[in-house]
Amino acid sequence: MDRMLVVVFSNEAKAYEGKKALLQLDGEGSISVYAYAVVAKNADGTATVKQGDDAGPLGTLVGTSLGSLIGLLGGPAGVAIGAAAGLGAGSAVDIDNAQVGDDFITDVTKQLLPNRVAVVAEIEEDWTTPVDTRMEAIGGTVFRRALSDVQHQTHQEDVAAMKADLAQMKAEHAQAHADRKDKLQEKINQLDSKIQAQLQAAKEKRQAAERKAQAKVEILKSKAAAATARAS
């Protein structure tokens, strides 16, 4: 199952130890790590990405679930992004794109207090014991959540509602007097533009999700091939 993982540590040294353990679990085949970052919460409430995995098949963190989650962990104060993390200052922070509920963000931020450091990762795991055992031994507090695609359904409902409004406006426009038609037409044009923008954004997100899914498949294939080669 694909999950978002956050492990909070008391200091940076332990966080790097946790990152090392996570990658060891990946090497052992216990889990698959798709992307990760080490994130520190500063005394002023901002968050800084200390280290990020920008070289892997998933590419930069921009627009990904992990990138959005990191942005949200910075809270209103924002995030100071390290260049290696692949995130820019203008990166969009989107709770839907993070694919986790706001309750998950709340639970994590209650533990990720100033001067604490977290390993944030998007992983695939069949059972939770390997990660929990390794991280708890280092002193980490583990949070995980299965990635959700609920936002796709919500988007479809929003577009359907706007299309219903558009149909109603067009029906009124057909029966309106001349002095009313221009105002209705302006509203129709504005709503239609919003619908087209929503559809385009959904298309771009869908294409990004497809590319990401394919990248994950390639990661798992390469790991399977490496395991076969070691066994032969």
Report CA-CA distances (Å) from 7 to 15, 111, 139: 8, 10, 9
Residues in the chain: 232
Kindly state whether residues 130 and 207 are assigned to the same domain. no
Kindly state whether residues 156 and 134 are assigned to the same domain. no
**In terms of pTM, does the model score above 0.95?**
no
Report CA-CA distances (Å) from 89 to 137, 183, 195: 35, 40, 28
Q: Is 75 helix (H, G, I), strand (E, B) or coil?
A: helix
Q: Which domain holds residue 81?
A: 2-148
Kindly state whether residues 127 and 157 are assigned to the same domain. no
| 39, burial (CB in 10 Å: exposed 0-12, middle 13-18, buried 19+) | buried
Confidence at residue 199, expressed as pLDDT on a 0 to 100 scale: 83
DSSP class per residue in 160-183? HHHHHHHHHHHHHHHHS-HHHHHH
pLDDT tens digits, 157-189: 677 878 888 888 888 888 888 778 888 888 889
How many domains would you assign to the chain? Answer: 2
Kindly state whether residues 135 and 186 are assigned to the same domain. no
Kindly state whether residues 155 and 110 are assigned to the same domain. no
* Region of residue 29 (phi > 0: left; psi between -120 and 50: alpha; otherwise: beta): left
The strand pair at 117-125 and 31-41 is best described as antiparallel
pLDDT tens digits, 68-102: 787 777 765 444 443 334 344 334 445 556 677 67
